[in-house]
Amino acid sequence: MNISSAIRLPLALAAAWAFTALIPEQGDTSGLSLFPPVAAILVAITTGRLILGLTLAILGGAIIALPADTPLYLIPLRGLQRGLLDFIWSPLRDSFQLFILGFTASLIGMVRVISLAGGTRGIAELLIAKAAGARSTRMATALLGLAIFFDDYANTLVVGTTMRPITDRFRISREKLAFLVDSTAAPVAGIAIVSTWVGFEVGLFDSAMNQVQSGVSGYELFFRAMPARFYCLLTLAFVFISTALGRDYGPMLTAERRAQKTGQVLAPDAQPPTGGEDKIPDHPGLRAHWAVAAAPVLVVVFGVLGGMHLDAYNAPAVVAARTAHGFFARLYWIETFANADGAKVMFIAALLGSALAMILALTRREESSEARPLGIVQIAKTWVTGITGFSYALVILVLAWAIKETCEAVETSAYIIGALSSFLDPNFLPLIVFLLAAAVAFSIGTSWTTMAILLPTMVPVAYDMGGIGLTVLVAAAVLDGAIFGDHCSPISDTTVLSSIASSCDHLAHVRTQAPYALTTMAVAGSCGYLGSTLLWSPAIGLVLGLAIITAILLLVGKKTDED
């Protein structure tokens, strides 16, 4: 740590402590409950050290969460103990997190082997032959993001790691790749009618509807809320409109012009989470083919779909749905995704994809002869190298999970809800709930926890205040606000995974994506949640939102390849 960082660090911590200590209590919850997210974000921004910010925020939160009667001399030891055991180690005991880590590492290793075997060069050569250039590659990346709709983790890691060598070749900045990956992950999974998200969302909706005895099922509320998912729909529209127009603005424009003019897909001072070990050239003289890359990726995609089906096949809810609706029915697959152990299935699918990549690498021949130059030792070493280069990202991901536990322990969400509860009004409720969900998700770095906290609270309030019409808008506002906050938060696991998969400096990803997410959020809030409550239908709100986003890109955005 240099002198400048050593000065900024205590100032950032002092500012976080002063801000949270001086704000008023909300019921039984102290303003210090905001310290972990505020400290993590301030330290990361002021010092550029995300791991340091997360670590100090977790330790600070652990001390705040200690019982009031803890002896003064034991506070440091007890705080360290709670931080390590309850906040860091406890989430890792959950098989979900372990399988996600295994899936991430296996997928990165798989892509390393694909690159060694000439698969990514084969895709690049195919795109060079079929595409006009960088714009077509950006569009292909976005379309691949739409295609992997069933889970945001799978989407992020498959799209980012698969397309990264290709976007590098076309001089597309890593910041742009991370944006394309992040903006087609949760927004797609959140609104897809068959995904790991739907079962979770529908379950929360069902509980809330039963609570108010509305007679409306969770499935019905989910589909009625679909046209009001303004942030998700407009985010996807922003991705494709900006890509089609070839326009950017703000920090993203700077990053794209840097990459296009100099070939530097990363800024000179960037710290990609793979530790800079992301460039592995393919074996010289090897016969490249796009199928070497496509086949393992397809095994992962269809392995997840097939694995979900097999894993949940005998679950009572799945059996009932299959009997009532048949194998190809939407409701059957919704129940399948809701009851399967998704993380385990994804991990096994990634291992199968890695195995196929290794087998294909063994069969590759040289251009000038029939020799097979790649041996099993070299292939295995390449796969392992991908995982060992993943250590920095692994730490960030573990700490992102840990700070979520920290925020729950100090009741960060309860404080935010209490602070805004006095502003509830039927005419502005959807907009307020959208902003509230965004603030909670941004602070704690997780959309699912935000949904689980706010839906049982806000849906009954909306039903009591305005019936099913207001309930639909509020339900959509919770889901979309949670995704926006998670989308922008530097401590979100999906934001971290987008940086990992794209090998992009994490803070650079957050900084370049934020203006785009805030633009879409402002349009979704004004045209969508406010306008649809006071003036027009959700369909009109979407049309107006599309028009405004297009106008912003045309008026504010500039061509990437022009001065």
293: helix, coil or strand?
A: helix
Q: What pLDDT is recorded for position 141?
A: 87
Please report the pLDDT score of residue 27 as a whole number.
67
Identify the band that residue 6 occupies on the pLDDT scale cut at 50, 70 and 90. Answer: low
Q: Band of the pLDDT at 65, cuts 50, 70, 90?
A: confident
For residues 206 and 87, which has the higher predicted lDDT (pLDDT)? 87
Q: What percentage of the chain carries pLDDT values higher than 90?
A: 20
- CA-based torsion, 236, 133, 107, 406: positive or negative: negative
Going by C-alpha positions, the residue among 363, 379, 368, 378 that lies closest to residue 289 is 363
Contact between 198 and 222 under an 8 Å Cβ cutoff? The reply is yes
What pLDDT is stored for residue 518 in this prediction? 94
307-366 pLDDT, tens digit per residue, is 888 988 998 988 998 888 888 887 787 778 777 887 788 889 889 999 999 999 999 888
- Alpha-carbon gap, residue 382 to 393, rounded angstroms: 18
pLDDT of residue 240: 94
64 compared with 46, residue with greater pLDDT? 64
**Those residues with Cβ within 8 angstroms of residue 132's Cβ, 6 or more apart along the chain or in another chain:** none
Three-class DSSP labels, 473-521: HHHHHHHHHHHHHHHHCCCCHHHHHHHHHHCCCHHHHHHHHHHHHHHHH
Give tens-digit pLDDT for 97-107: 788 778 777 87
Distance (Å, whole) CA 74 – CA 68: 12
- For residue range 36-55, what is the model confidence (pLDDT) as tens digits? 877 877 777 677 676 787 78
Averaged pLDDT for residues 388-405: 70
pLDDT at position 255: 92
pLDDT at 128: 62
Which residue is it, tokens 């207001």? 470
Closest by CA position to 412, among listed 90, 43, 76, 16: 16
Question: 26 - beta bridge partners?
Answer: 29
**Which has more confidence, 265 or 7?**
265
Give the model's pLDDT for residue 276: 41
The first and second tokens of residue 502, run together, are 């794209």
Q: How far apart, in whole angstroms, are the C-alpha atoms of residue 396 and residue 88?
A: 11
Is residue 281 scored above 60 in pLDDT?
no
SS (H, E, C) 188-201: HHHHCCCCHHHHHH
* Portion of the chain with pLDDT greater than 70, in percent: 88
The span from the CA of 341 to the CA of 332, in Å, is 16
* Confidence band, pLDDT 50/70/90 cuts, at residue 164: confident
Minimal CA–CA distance to 303: which of 350, 338, 356?
350
Listed residue (192, 349, 288, 257) closest to 558, CA to CA: 257
Q: What is the mean pLDDT of residues 67-86?
A: 87
Angle at 361 between CA 360 and CA 362, to 5 degrees: 90
What is the structure's pLDDT at 423? 67
Q: How big is the chain by its Cα radius of gyration, in Å?
A: 24
For tokens 């045209």, the residue is 527
pLDDT score of 131: 64
Q: Helix, strand, or coil here: 366?
A: strand
The pLDDT value recorded for residue 234 is 95
| Number of residues assigned to the chain | 563
Least confident range of 15-19, 226-230, 470-474, 515-519: 15-19
Q: 278 pLDDT exceeds 50? A: no
Contact partners, residue 141, CB within 8 Å, separation at least 6: 159, 163, 167, 177, 180, 181
Cα-based distances in Å from 200 to 75, 256, 268, 455: 38, 37, 42, 11
Region 274-278: mean pLDDT is 47
Residue 153: per-residue pLDDT? 75
Strand 247-248 to strand 558-559: parallel, antiparallel, or no bridges (unpaired)?
antiparallel
The string of pLDDT tens digits covering residues 368-396 is: 777 788 889 989 988 888 777 666 666 76
Every domain of the chain and the residues it spans: 1-93
432/428 Cα distance (integer angstroms): 6
Mean pLDDT on 246-263: 91
* Residue in 146, 161, 44 with CA at minimum distance from that of residue 492: 44
Query: What is the 8-class DSSP label of residue 526?
Result: I
What number is the average pLDDT over the span 185-189? 85
Residue carrying the six token digits 């892509």 = 111
- What is the mean predicted confidence (pLDDT) over 446-468? 77
What pLDDT, on a 0 to 100 scale, did the predictor assign at position 258? 92
What pTM did the predictor assign? 0.70
Q: Check if the beta carbon of residue 107 is closer than 8 Å to that of residue 158.
A: yes
Packing angle of the helix pair 95-116, 376-388 (nearest 10 deg): 130
Average predicted confidence (pLDDT) for the chain: 82
Report how far residue 131's alpha carbon sits from residue 252's, in angstroms, rounded to the nearest whole number. Answer: 23
Detail the DSSP E strand segments found in 305-431. none
The SS3 of residue 230 is: helix
Residue 180 has what pLDDT?
93
- Which residue type sits at 55? T
Q: Mean pLDDT throughout 535-544?
A: 90
Around 248, how many Cα atoms within 13 Å sit in the side-chain half-sphere? Answer: 26
Does 432 or 111 have the greater pLDDT score?
A: 432
The residue that leads in pLDDT, 176 or 444, is: 176
